[in-house]
Structure 1
Amino acid sequence: MSSSPGRPSPKRPVLAGLRSALPGNRKELLDAALLFGPSVGAAVLLEMTFDLVLPAIPTGLTLSVSLLLLSARWLRRHKTSPSFPLESRRLPPRIEALIGRDREVREVADLALKSRLVVVRGVTGIGTSAVAVNAGWRVAPEPEQQHYADLRGQDRDEPENWQSVAERVLRTLGRPLGPIKDERVAAQEVSTTLHLSGRLLLLDNVARWDQVAWLPRHVPGSRIIVAGDLVVAADDLNDVEVVHVGILDAADGLELLRSRIEAEQMGVERLRDEPEAGDRLAKRFLRRPALVVGIGRWLTQNRKESIASLVDQLEAGPRDRVLQVLLDLQLRRVSQEARQLLGLLVYAPIAELGTDGVAALAGSSEDEAGQAMEELSRYGLAEMTRRRIRVVGAARAIVTSPDGKPGDAKPERWKAALQRLVKHFADRADLLADRLPQEEARGWFGLEDRALLQMLKMPEPAPQAAESLWRIADALEVWFALEQRHEERREAACALAKAAKKLRYPDAWATAELRLCLIALELGEPGRAREHFDEAARLQAGVESWPAQLHLARAATLLAAGDEFAAVEAALVQYGQALPGGDTTGQATRLINMAVLQIRRGQVSGFTGRKDGTAPQHGDAVPHESVPGTQDEAHRLYRDAVETLVQALEIARRSGDLRAEAHTLELLALVNRCLGRTHEASNGWEEAAELYDRARDTIGQARCQMHRAATLPEADHAEAAKLLWSAVERLPAMGVSTALAWLHLARVDPRNTREQREKGLAALAQWDEGAEPLQVTEIRRRLESL
């Protein structure tokens, strides 16, 4: 595959096929990009060793299956660029005069101080968040003790799922993420972080109980508060403390109103001068703080209007839409600039924007955008928190577009506004993805990744924004892969495929399918991987013109499905031929992949060379007889693999690629194990695990722990069990590595062999029908024999 002269040099994963979607460059996929990108220097062996017995096995009897993926080399150069605001994790300011809520605040604080999970529940607009925040300041008065997350997501119609919430929580607590397999692991992370810490975790605006049901109910020495208008079943809250926030007394509502307008003496005088109207107002409309605040704004901004006229207008409207009626009155007083901004915000693909995003949407300066945002907030049509704006739900229902059309008709300037907004986020994502894994870049993506994903998932993507959407997909792949958040990777790739299909960009669609293929392989789903690969191949021209990465994906899917080594070797040869000249990192990838193939051939040769065709059993007194010459052939292949890996390791170290270096060391340790060098193998896996830890690759680290456990002698079964339990918590639910870990656990910690057997077999479920590698067959046989 040749390089395009006008194409920018790929500095990080530029999505394969995405640049080619631009005018004038539609024919080729970029040479980067199944998983991370062209700067990658190594392939990864994800599903690795099958150690047939613990603690020791004869040389050459280890099987492995490899899924050939790319690893990432994160750029270390610094760029001159603006700084980006990061999300504050401290509590919002307390409300000094929270009238009518002293009892609720005190009750929440007292319960939280008992280290119990406290749920503060109330309907929207009733003041639930204010109660929770003020209680939070009571139990954790020092900002260093506070951890706060607002769970209102970027999708107005669908609250975030529990996995997304768990990621937000762990990020707020400063914990490394990695893959979150189940609720138990997430809860344990929270418990470990908060235990005896004296810190507070407050989750605000929770919409559904299943978002937070995984949280631990009791963590000694910590406080957890959940607040929101939760949708719950009758018995969901049986094991937690619940404080219900109800409507205000009429007297408290009137007092709150007075406090809101006390700076405007004319407003207070009007309440005194119109006692009957004030009484009607208090009894009918001052029971919810949100409505009280809105009425206070109206009174201070409409000094010539009588209270009676306001009450008449509110009573004339629908009883269940009083706030809409009030905001409709306010909308008439808003400037044209702010009204235009509101019309655009209502249709924005994400629910919340910062000042920079608002400026891009409106096509204005940040100063002008900030002024319009302040005006919308002043009139109660939007909420402003930490320089970010969100349109109030009631305002969305009454807004009219700036072109005078009904509320469900987008403004004429909408297409240009959307294009500006998406390009703005694409530019920022491009810049910050180049700076990963620096903390500033991590902070920005942690704040904006759901916004980026929501834009990519727009039901009606604009053709004019296609190039920006592709760049957003590229940046999300970098980010989610770095964080090992594979379900989000899959979500982003699916959104890319859908958008590319709708906009008729086959190259971008093929890239999405390739990503889905690699994600499925990484998660132990070979059948699904083959489906995505076939779709990607269908979208491209004949095999002779395939991009390099498609050949690599073919090799990976073939290895996951069986032992067709000749076909795999042919695919890797084609991969090398398709690489552009001078692509040293691509050549390193080819080297490691060829080494993997040599290892696989050696393992299968050693296994099938046994005359009885069986694997050795633990405790065999006499080694089984081997077919002459097969073990020699296996050893020759292993020695060839060592030479190949040494070359790849030199390139990985020269490029500063931690993950590539770790992958190569992991493979070298495997070869040492195959050659009977147990001590060298154990040391190699320990070194690789340290590199994986530095690269924040928890799955790679877990694999190395599993391999090391297999090398420990029988006297160290307790240590082996500890390593294996740590590994299974971080490995994917499916796959050979996971099945093997459960098999090893059944040997060193056989307290619940039946459960370990079932979990191990479940990890191999993707191979239940259809072809499977020899190693899968053998692991399944051994699990079934437990």
Structure 2
Amino acid sequence: MTPPAGGPRPRPRHRKRDRLSALVPRSLSETVTAVIVLGSACGGAILKEMAANAVLSRVPTWLLFVTAPLLVAGGWAWQRHRRERPPRSPAVPRHLPPRAEPFVGRDAEVAAVAARARERGLVAVRGPAGVGTSAVAVAAGWELAPDIAGQHYADLRGQDRDAPEDARSVVERVLRTLGRPIAAAGDSEVAAQEVLAALEGTGTVLLLDNVERWEQVSWLPRHVPGAFVMVAGDLDTGPDETLPGEVSVVQIGPLTPAAGERLLRAHVTAGLLETDPAATARLAELFLRRPAIITGIARWLAGNPRVPIAALLKSLEEGPRDQGLQTLLAGQLRRVRPQPRRLLALLARTPLAELGRDGAAALLGAHERDVERCMEELSRHGLVERVREARVRVVEAARAIVPPPGDWEAAWRRLAHRFAELADYHAERLPGEDARAWFGLEDKALLQILRARWPGSGASAGPLWRIADALEVWFLLEQRHKERREAATALAAAARAVGDTGAQATAELRLCLVALALGEPRLAQEHLDGATRLQGAGGIESWPAQIHLARAATLLTAGDEFAAVEASLVRYGQALAGGDATGQAIRWIDMAVLRMRRGQVCAAEHRGPEADRLYVDAQGMLVRALAVAREAADLSAEAHARELLAVVHWYLGRAREAGEGWEEAVRLHRAAGDGVGEARCQVQQAAALTAERRGEAARLLRSALAKLPPTGVSTALARLRLAEAEPRNARAHRDKGLAALAPWDGIAEPLQIAEIRRRLMKPAPAEES
């Protein structure tokens, strides 16, 4: 569901006063967990590990609990909505495109692909552009799964015309197509297991089309029993790389001249080719080898029925051999009306490789009905191709023959405004499935717009800020920190270009939070310093609330500077807007976190009664936070408060209350669309189980790993626990656990990280034997 082009617009969220606070995590417990544990889990899990006498038995409590067991689950703009979030449902699969009609000269290849798929599982349908590789793969897919309910299809061409999508983006696209957790995209092996779980025994087919490089799909499982996986495209390999031997390859080459002539005859008027048999034979020998060229020739002949075939042949022979399609399309372009021609020029100029009908309407400044007619005309002449739903891509050969548009800057502003409206609209509706589907389709387009030069000096760049806000909400929800950094970096560059210091400060603050989430405290401090400098000469009292929160988080990464952290939290509370119930709930959570940290220090110093009093104080604050979060109808804040309460109960020896609390926190995280928060609670639950229940613990941990990012403390702890639960795979789990701590490589890591690393590097006696 998208806002109509002429309908009401969503409330803009780019006012300068709000820009710095937009989309910044509000809770210290959220932020610091992202800081210390890389958006994973938590000191609480480590403490339960200790209490269960499973791991880390020698680590002092005060060193382990670096913060509350909370993760950045959403942004400020998303979390401030006061409504119940729907649970996430599986994405609707994308079905195979229609079979190419007519289909000539490829029956043997289609039969070979289908047979290999039945025998081997993963089949690579390989061939250069224009020879019909995709058509062969699609036809084989229909033969293997004639019912659309058994089809999954993903076109892997990205929005960047100059570079193919990287492997991580491809993994995300495939998982989204199959309706699997996107969090698994960070670990290729886990992602492959998700593909296996989605397809095994279903009799369905998965076709990944337009694959440029083998490395994009090399992570796929080689065999999926009871299902079929095909990849189609160039499938280029590196200089010293070949396709693995276990992958069955069907090479698609050019058509034979006879097959090419039959295909051309199927497109043109009967008898047209008989007027000059010699010219027809030579045309077939030289040019009727690729379906793309054949289709272009058929269009030319249909538009020029009285021109001799020999004239066409001469024109093609005189031009460069590899530019025949350009020659044909240039003839088609002369037949196009002015408005579609202008749209083609604008589409060819935009850095986005494909656009939907609404985006094209904004670019052209016309009604969608007119744009649909333009797109249909361009498609009929072969100048654009239809992709997915109502989207088009300019044919590469057409770009070279289209003159540059004269009104590009105004068109680009219209397009950016429209995408900003759509991004606003869908960000307001996250984590709803419709909004997830839209962002999953358009997030790379939004990034491309944000990176592009904003035209014209003095023009308002508000649409860019709104796009940046929406991307921060989306990428934070998906825990895609790499893309968060890309969006914030692009925002910083755009803000510098137009001289907007407020937007620059927002970008610096987001970069600070990303650095904290990725275990880069020094870089985080640099970005925080940059954000504070950009606030001007007003001093610390003029800082927005979120800078105080980020400062508290950054301080906490460097040690137990409780007084300075508490001062920042006090200022955070003072800077909150009046009537902000959710902000007040977060403030109570923050203060509870600080009490819990102090309690751990007291426990480490053998001051047990004082530690218990601090834990009881934290419990009271969390109960208050829970009540305010419910009043604000903020599921995310409620989930975090409930999770922290479970940790406090564990510290106080109330195992039953802790278990019930984690169960409720799992439910709330799931309702809020926070898969990582849910997974973190599962790691905590598994850590609390006794050795006799290792099978149950392993199931919980595997479920958690499917949703956790590839790095972080929760991931490392889950792998450490799995090494105990599954001794046969212990070494592999320990290696992956060490890889999960990679963000701390080469930096001064906290002592609890060092201890986890030590335990992962030291196998148990059973493993040594």
Query: Which of the five TM-score ranges fits, normalised by the shorter chain?
Result: 0.7 to 0.9
Alignment partners' CA distance in 1, 2:277 and 2:290: 20
In the other structure, the counterpart of 1:558 is: 555
In the other structure, the counterpart of 2:399 is: 396
Which region of structure 1 is more displaced relative to structure 2, 67-76 or 122-131?
67-76
In terms of fraction of residues, the more helix-rich structure is: 2
Go from structure 1 to structure 2 and tell me whether the alpha carbon gap of 1:132 and 1:472 turns closer, same or farther (over 3 Å shift). same
Go from structure 1 to structure 2 and tell me whether the alpha carbon gap of 1:294 and 1:681 turns closer, same or farther (over 3 Å shift). same
Alignment partners' CA distance in 2, 1:486 and 1:436: 18
Alignment partners' CA distance in 1, 2:93 and 2:357: 16
In the other structure, the counterpart of 1:616 is: none
Alignment partners' CA distance in 2, 1:432 and 1:664: 27
Letter in 1 for 2:425: L
The answer on whether the counterparts of 1:761 and 1:780 sit within 8 Å (CA) in structure 2 is: yes
For the residue of structure 2 that corresponds to 1:594, the secondary structure is: helix
Show CA shifts across 1:589-633 (max 9, x none): 1111111111011112211x1xxxxxxxxxxxxxxxx3xxx2122
Q: CA deviation at 1:733?
A: 3.8
Q: CA deviation at 1:533?
A: 2.0
Matched, 1:73 2:50: no
Aligned counterparts, 1:496-507, within 5 A: 496-507=491-502
Go from structure 1 to structure 2 and tell me whether the alpha carbon gap of 1:565 and 1:770 turns closer, same or farther (over 3 Å shift). farther
For the residue of structure 1 that corresponds to 2:382, the secondary structure is: coil
In the other structure, the counterpart of 1:604 is: 601
For the residue of structure 2 that corresponds to 1:651, the secondary structure is: helix
In the other structure, the counterpart of 1:154 is: 159
For the residue of structure 1 that corresponds to 2:400, the secondary structure is: helix
Q: CA deviation at 1:750?
A: 5.5
Matched, 1:514 2:515: no
In the other structure, the counterpart of 2:709 is: 732
Show CA shifts across 1:533-568 (max 9, x none): 222223222322111100100111111222111111
**2:248 counterpart (216, 241, 246):** 241
In the other structure, the counterpart of 2:5 is: none
The answer on whether the counterparts of 1:663 and 1:688 sit within 8 Å (CA) in structure 2 is: yes
**1:577 counterpart (574, 577, 585):** 574
Aligned counterparts, 1:32-51, within 5 A: 32-35=21-24, 45=33, 47-49=42-44, 50-51=46-47
For the residue of structure 2 that corresponds to 1:124, the secondary structure is: coil
For the residue of structure 1 that corresponds to 2:279, the secondary structure is: helix
Alignment partners' CA distance in 2, 1:754 and 1:87: 38
For the residue of structure 1 that corresponds to 2:285, the secondary structure is: helix
In the other structure, the counterpart of 2:429 is: 435
The answer on whether the counterparts of 1:360 and 1:421 sit within 8 Å (CA) in structure 2 is: yes
In the other structure, the counterpart of 1:23 is: none
In the other structure, the counterpart of 2:87 is: none
Letter in 2 for 1:473: A
Among all aligned residue pairs of Structure 1 and Structure 2, give the percentage whose two residues are the same amino acid. Answer: 56
**1:216 counterpart (213, 218, 221):** 221
Which region of structure 1 is more displaced relative to structure 2, 773-782 or 537-546?
773-782
Aligned residues: 725
Q: CA deviation at 1:114?
A: 2.9
For the residue of structure 2 that corresponds to 1:330, the secondary structure is: helix
Letter in 2 for 1:144: A
Q: CA deviation at 1:739?
A: 4.0
**2:650 counterpart (673, 688, 707):** 673
Q: CA deviation at 1:199?
A: 0.6
Alignment partners' CA distance in 1, 2:761 and 2:204: 47
In the other structure, the counterpart of 1:480 is: 475
Which region of structure 1 is more displaced relative to structure 2, 192-201 or 517-526?
517-526
Alignment partners' CA distance in 2, 1:333 and 1:11: 41
Q: CA deviation at 1:729?
A: 5.0
For the residue of structure 1 that corresponds to 2:272, the secondary structure is: helix
The answer on whether the counterparts of 1:35 and 1:70 sit within 8 Å (CA) in structure 2 is: no
Alignment partners' CA distance in 2, 1:670 and 1:41: 13
Aligned counterparts, 1:242-641, within 5 A: 242-262=249-269, 268-385=270-387, 386-401=389-404, 411-459=405-453, 464=459, 466-541=461-536, 542-607=539-604, 609=605, 626=606, 630-641=607-618
Q: CA deviation at 1:182?
A: 1.3
TM-score, normalization: structure 1?
0.86
Alignment partners' CA distance in 2, 1:322 and 1:11: 48
Alignment partners' CA distance in 1, 2:279 and 2:533: 72
TM-score, normalization: structure 2?
0.88
Letter in 2 for 1:371: R
Show CA shifts across 1:721-754 (max 9, x none): 4434444454334434344444555555566666
Which region of structure 1 is more displaced relative to structure 2, 727-736 or 301-310?
727-736
Go from structure 1 to structure 2 and tell me whether the alpha carbon gap of 1:357 and 1:643 turns closer, same or farther (over 3 Å shift). same
Aligned counterparts, 1:93-112, within 5 A: 93-112=98-117
Q: CA deviation at 1:306?
A: 1.4
Alignment partners' CA distance in 1, 2:527 and 2:736: 26
Alignment partners' CA distance in 1, 2:560 and 2:168: 36
The answer on whether the counterparts of 2:31 and 2:513 sit within 8 Å (CA) in structure 1 is: no
The answer on whether the counterparts of 1:70 and 1:589 sit within 8 Å (CA) in structure 2 is: no
Which region of structure 1 is more displaced relative to structure 2, 204-213 or 520-529?
520-529
The answer on whether the counterparts of 1:13 and 1:474 sit within 8 Å (CA) in structure 2 is: no
Matched, 1:195 2:191: no
For the residue of structure 1 that corresponds to 2:461, the secondary structure is: helix
The answer on whether the counterparts of 1:435 and 1:441 sit within 8 Å (CA) in structure 2 is: yes
The answer on whether the counterparts of 2:465 and 2:491 sit within 8 Å (CA) in structure 1 is: yes
In the other structure, the counterpart of 1:226 is: 231
Q: CA deviation at 1:187?
A: 0.6
In the other structure, the counterpart of 1:6 is: none
The answer on whether the counterparts of 1:44 and 1:663 sit within 8 Å (CA) in structure 2 is: no
Show CA shifts across 1:422-457 (max 9, x none): 111111111122122232222222222221122112
Matched, 1:53 2:30: no
The answer on whether the counterparts of 2:363 and 2:411 sit within 8 Å (CA) in structure 1 is: yes
For the residue of structure 2 that corresponds to 1:384, the secondary structure is: strand
Alignment partners' CA distance in 2, 1:237 and 1:782: 36
Go from structure 1 to structure 2 and tell me whether the alpha carbon gap of 1:299 and 1:431 turns closer, same or farther (over 3 Å shift). same
Q: CA deviation at 1:776?
A: 4.1
The answer on whether the counterparts of 1:527 and 1:766 sit within 8 Å (CA) in structure 2 is: no
The answer on whether the counterparts of 1:48 and 1:65 sit within 8 Å (CA) in structure 2 is: yes
Alignment partners' CA distance in 2, 1:154 and 1:87: 22
Alignment partners' CA distance in 2, 1:456 and 1:769: 32
The answer on whether the counterparts of 1:456 and 1:469 sit within 8 Å (CA) in structure 2 is: yes
Q: CA deviation at 1:250?
A: 1.0
Show CA shifts across 1:144-179 (max 9, x none): 111111111111011111111111111111223235
Q: CA deviation at 1:328?
A: 1.8
Show CA shifts across 1:668-690 (max 9, x none): 11111111222222221222122
The answer on whether the counterparts of 1:731 and 1:738 sit within 8 Å (CA) in structure 2 is: yes
In the other structure, the counterpart of 1:683 is: 660
Letter in 1 for 2:245: N
**RMSD value, Cα:** 2.9
In the other structure, the counterpart of 1:163 is: 168
The answer on whether the counterparts of 1:510 and 1:535 sit within 8 Å (CA) in structure 2 is: yes
Q: CA deviation at 1:396?
A: 0.6
The answer on whether the counterparts of 2:589 and 2:625 sit within 8 Å (CA) in structure 1 is: yes
The answer on whether the counterparts of 2:109 and 2:252 sit within 8 Å (CA) in structure 1 is: yes
Contiguous gaps of at least 5 residues in structure 2: 1-8, 34-40, 85-90, 764-769
Q: CA deviation at 1:61?
A: 3.7
Show CA shifts across 1:260-315 (max 9, x none): 113xxxxx433111112112211111111100000000000012321111111111
Go from structure 1 to structure 2 and tell me whether the alpha carbon gap of 1:105 and 1:277 turns closer, same or farther (over 3 Å shift). same
Letter in 2 for 1:737: S
Letter in 1 for 2:225: P
Which region of structure 1 is more displaced relative to structure 2, 189-198 or 423-432?
423-432
Q: CA deviation at 1:516?
A: 2.3
Q: CA deviation at 1:491?
A: 2.4
The answer on whether the counterparts of 2:326 and 2:400 sit within 8 Å (CA) in structure 1 is: yes
